[in-house]
Amino acid sequence: MTTDSTEMYNQISGILQAHSKVDIQITPQTLIATDLAIDSVEMFDLVMEIEEQYDISFPLEEASDIDTVQSLVDIIERLINV
Amino acid sequence: MFDTLGDKNSVFAKFQKLAERAKAVEATGRSPFGMRFDDMLSQTRARVGNAEILLAGTNNYMGLTFNPDVMAAAKAAIDAHGTATTGSRLANGTYSDHLDLEDELKDYFNAASAIVCTTGYQANLAAISALAGRGDHLLIDADSHACIYDACRLSDATTIRFRHNSPADLEKRLSRLPVDGARLVVIEGLYSMLGDVAPVAEFVEVAHAHGAMLFVDEAHSVGGYGEKGRGVSQAQGVLDKVDFISGTFSKSFASIGGFCVSRHEALELIRLVSRPYLFTASGSPANVATARAALALIASDSTLAKSLWDRVHQLYTGLVDAGLTPVSPPGPIMAISRPDEHQALAEWNMLMNAGVYVNLAIPPATPQAQSLLRLSLSAAHTEDDINQIIAAFRSLPQAG
Ligand SMILES: Cc1ncc(COP(=O)(O)O)c(C=O)c1O
């Protein structure tokens, strides 16, 4: 990972931790819905927060593809670079 | 009963959790999602088993389902044209009544084009999915009705949600979009669950400033809002600026059907390409005649909207006094937020025992996963009806 993407990964982990009700060590393979117990309502707020932070908009089709922490980071990186 | 649910390869396996949740709801008494009305006694009364129930959740805003003129129009249409069209609008399903209704909608909304569909759900699917194509962007309010979400799924455009009722958030998202491709913003006039109104005038300004068109679903607001009941866009003085308005005949119009009107004549072109428009049968003669008769009344009889709003203010005050303040300012839809699904369900049952039917609205159908007791009022409700509704709410243990 480059410094940029490490920094982003750390930021995203922080946001996820803040929205999660369970306290576990987040890894790239952590499943957001099941491992972090983030439901769809919480997920919506979380996505809105990330969108503000990075000045991006998640297409609805992509938002439903998010499962692991890494998949979320990948989508954000792609959206930033378009 | 559901013996195939346990088999993990069954098509029904995915419903196992749902079946458990439904069973738990049923165990508390009646099922709010499996209600049977044994007899409709009037616009506002039904017989359920041996009980006469006052209806306070039927979206029958103008109370026209038993109006003598409207009923006579429906009966005459059956006598004249039969019970069904047995075909789609493009083939054999367009009668002169469908075209007359389209002309009347154009006059009513001062629009250049009008398309009548078989339901409001279909109207949104038909218009939105055809207007926004590949390479285009759809920007929708996060609290949009399920049929708007479904329309986006059917469309080849990219869909982006913005914060509910936030023109500022929409503006941010519009300014992030690539320059290529068309942009269509979709909102509702009056939101069906919480009963809050959109700032349509602000949205139209933001949309147009960023080269987008604005589509407003006025399913719940035609009848109760605006001069001659023409909806929230008209009430906010922007009827001539909004690009598309859709609506339904299943609420204020006491029928079944839907429509989309536009100040752009080119909307007509979607008739040739829109799959939801093409591949389903048209509204029956009775449905179309009902909608026409209702439209004539809504456009000419301002006492209907006045009665509705008198009852709205009466009920709102009564609910506030009972310590059950609705989540939005007074309007024909009132939603009362409950601490959780369990309590909402228990209270829904208590209201039924007191002879009052309201809607129970629970996640995932509600914004922010709220549990709601939802009421919708009718011009046909009397002052006494509203007093009965207030008394029923006052009898809830949690009322103030
Ligand atoms: C906002 C909104 N749009 C569209 C519809 C669909 O209307 P119809 O019942 O005619 O399919 C509804 C009705 O539930 C609605 O609430």
Nearest residue of A to residue B158 by CA position? Answer: A59
Provide the strand spans (E) within chain B: 39-40, 45-48, 51-55, 113-117, 137-141, 158-162, 183-188, 213-217, 244-248, 258-262, 333-338, 356-357, 359-361, 371-376
Task: Name the CATH superfamily housing domain B23-55+302-394.
Answer: Aspartate Aminotransferase, domain 1 (3.90.1150.10)
Question: What total of structural domains would you count in chain A?
Answer: 1
**Residue contacts between A and B (CB atoms, under 8 Å):** 27
What is the atom index within ligand 1 of the atom nearest the CA of B145?
Answer: 1
Angstrom distance (rounded) from CA A41 to CA A77: 23
Q: Distance of CA B374 to CAs A69, B179, B333, B363, B377, Å? A: 37, 42, 7, 13, 10
Give residue-wise pLDDT tens across range A26-54.
899 999 988 888 888 888 888 889 998 89
- What per-residue confidence (pLDDT) applies to A81? 81
- Is the domain defined by B68-300 classed in CATH 3.40.50.1580? no
User: What does the pLDDT average to over B136-160?
Assistant: 97
Confidence of residue B31 (pLDDT cuts 50, 70, 90): confident
* First-to-final CA distance of chain A: 20
Q: Encoding tokens for residue B360?
A: 């129970």
Q: Residue A13 sits in which domain range?
A: 3-80
Enumerate residues 116 to 145 of chain B having a beta carbon within 8 A of any beta carbon in chain A. Answer: 142
The answer to whether B371 and B343 are in contact (CB under 8 A) is yes
- What per-residue confidence (pLDDT) applies to A20? 86
The answer to whether B367 and A41 are in contact (CB under 8 A) is no
Q: Does ligand 1 have an atom closer than 6 angstroms to the CB of B248?
A: yes
CA-based radius of gyration for chain A: 12
Q: Does B163 touch chain A (CB under 8 A)?
A: yes
CATH number at residue A48: 1.10.1200.10
Q: Distance of CA B120 to CAs B125, B161, B283, B333, Å? A: 9, 21, 11, 18
Angstrom distance (rounded) from CA B187 to CA B191: 9
Instruction: Please tell me the distance in Å from B262's CA to the nearest CA on chain A.
Output: 26
Pocket test for ligand 1, best of B121, B244, B252 (most atoms within 8 A of CB): B121
Of A39, A41, A57, nearest to B160 by CB-CB distance is A57
- The count of other CB atoms within 10 Å of the CB of residue B38 is 12
Q: Encoding tokens for residue B17?
A: 């959790």
Give the residue extent of every domain in chain B. Answer: 23-55+302-394, 68-300
Give residue-wise pLDDT tens across range B326-381.
999 999 999 999 999 999 999 999 999 999 999 999 988 888 889 999 999 999 99
Q: Does B364 touch chain A (CB under 8 A)?
A: yes
Give yes or no for residue B66 having a pLDDT over 60.
yes
The pTM for the full model equals 0.95
**Residue of higher predicted confidence among B10 and B246:** B246
Pocket test for ligand 1, best of B217, B248, B255 (most atoms within 8 A of CB): B248
Angstrom distance (rounded) from CA B271 to CA B64: 30
